């Protein structure tokens, strides 16, 4: 039967043929996965989860490293800025200039500037500073704020200068003792004398060790061995004191 020139008989449907094999166990076209985790022999390791958490941890570590780099850069920039400011400041030449210079110095830079200006902070300077305090206190119209500033500066400098001088003395003393020991003709007699005066301590031994290491670094093995003998002898005397 025809309808408008077309047959009513159903047209055949095209179905692609699949490859067939008489030996499917050896043909890759016919293999079908049954169980991905099938491992009867126990050869494969058990699957591990947490892949996302490990990735997140790695990202956090990278982020922390970047933050650390940024912090290091900021710290270095701040340090360089401080150094530039210090280089730009001109050290005063007179006592009057020194007073105003220190009064205008930022609080966090006072210790540095005190060390820098230590040669100018003499007994004469403290006398001048005391005179300025007296002038302000007994003026016809006293400036109590100025008096407080000058007195605070005087007290700070007195304390800080004493600390600076004590540190310098402690640093110089071991060097002097070591030089005296190394230059002595009779090392044993000198060690006995120093032990009697309580001059053999950890600071002296550490300084002696630094000289030994420096000699070895310079390839001077004989002086290094010689100083090692002195160090060992000094250590024995220190233990008996």
Q: End of a domain among 120, 142, 168?
A: 168
Specify the pTM: 0.51
CA atoms within 13 Å, Cβ hemisphere of 152: 10
pLDDT recorded at residue 68? 83
Do 164 and 124 lie in one domain? The reply is yes
Do 156 and 194 lie in one domain? The reply is no
Do 78 and 164 lie in one domain? The reply is yes
Mean pLDDT of 15-27: 52
- 97 occurs within a structural domain: yes
pLDDT recorded at residue 241? 38
- 223 occurs within a structural domain: yes
pLDDT tens, residue by residue, 79-132: 888 888 888 888 899 999 999 999 999 999 999 999 999 999 999 999 999 999
- 19 occurs within a structural domain: no
Structural domain count, the chain:
2
Place of tokens 């401080």: 82
- 5 occurs within a structural domain: no
At residue 6, φ and ψ (nearest 5 deg) are -115, 145
As a whole number of angstroms, the distance between CA 150 and CA 132 comes to 8
- 233 occurs within a structural domain: yes
Do 144 and 98 lie in one domain? The reply is yes
Do 164 and 188 lie in one domain? The reply is no
Do 158 and 188 lie in one domain? The reply is no
As a whole number of angstroms, the distance between CA 117 and CA 198 comes to 34
As a whole number of angstroms, the distance between CA 110 and CA 157 comes to 9
Q: End of a domain among 116, 139, 168?
A: 168
pLDDT recorded at residue 92? 92
- 214 occurs within a structural domain: yes
Task: Indicate the range of 157-166, 207-216, 232-241 predicted with least confidence.
Answer: 232-241
Which is more confident, 23 or 157? 157
Alpha helix segments (H runs only) across the chain = 51-88, 95-103, 110-116, 123-137, 144-183, 187-196, 202-217, 221-240
Mean pLDDT of 32-49: 58
Asked if the model's pLDDT at residue 5 lies above 60, the reply is: no
- 57 occurs within a structural domain: no
As a whole number of angstroms, the distance between CA 131 and CA 129 comes to 5
* Band of residue 30 on the pLDDT scale cut at 50, 70, 90: low
Q: End of a domain among 119, 135, 168?
A: 168
* Mean pLDDT (the chain, rounded): 81
Domain that holds residue 99: 72-168
- 48 occurs within a structural domain: no
pLDDT tens, residue by residue, 140-179: 888 899 999 999 999 999 999 999 998 887 767 888 889 9
Do 106 and 188 lie in one domain? The reply is no
Do 108 and 195 lie in one domain? The reply is no
Please, are residues 102 and 120 in contact by the beta-carbon 8 Å criterion?
no
Mean pLDDT of 202-209: 89
As a whole number of angstroms, the distance between CA 9 and CA 82 comes to 97
Do 99 and 164 lie in one domain? The reply is yes
pLDDT recorded at residue 1? 47
Asked if the model's pLDDT at residue 3 lies above 50, the reply is: no
């Amino acid at each position: 039967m025809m309808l408008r020139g077309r047959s009513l008989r159903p047209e055949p449907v095209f179905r692609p043929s699949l490859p067939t094999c008489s030996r499917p166990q050896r043909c890759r076209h016919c293999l079908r996965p049954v169980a991905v985790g099938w491992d009867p022999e126990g050869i494969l390791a058990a699957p591990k989860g947490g892949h996302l958490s490990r990735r997140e941890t790695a990202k956090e570590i990278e982020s922390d490293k970047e933050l650390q780099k940024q912090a290091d850069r900021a710290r270095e920039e701040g340090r360089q800025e401080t150094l530039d400011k210090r280089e730009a400041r001109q050290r005063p030449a007179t006592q009057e200039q020194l007073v105003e210079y220190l009064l205008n110095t930022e609080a966090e830079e006072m210790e540095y500037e005190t060390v820098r200006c230590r040669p100018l902070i003499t007994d004469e300077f403290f006398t001048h500073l005391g005179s300025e305090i007296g002038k302000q206190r007994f003026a016809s119209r006293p400036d109590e704020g100025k008096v407080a500033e000058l007195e605070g500066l005087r007290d700070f400098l007195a304390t800080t200068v004493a600390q600076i001088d004590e540190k310098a003395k402690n640093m110089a003393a071991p060097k002097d003792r070591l030089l005296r020991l190394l230059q002595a003709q009779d090392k044993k007699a000198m060690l006995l004398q120093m032990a009697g005066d309580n001059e053999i301590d950890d600071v002296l031994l550490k300084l002696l060790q630094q000289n030994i290491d420096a000699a070895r670094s310079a390839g001077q093995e004989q002086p290094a061995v010689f100083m090692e003998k002195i160090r060992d002898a000094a250590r024995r005397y220190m233990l008996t004191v």
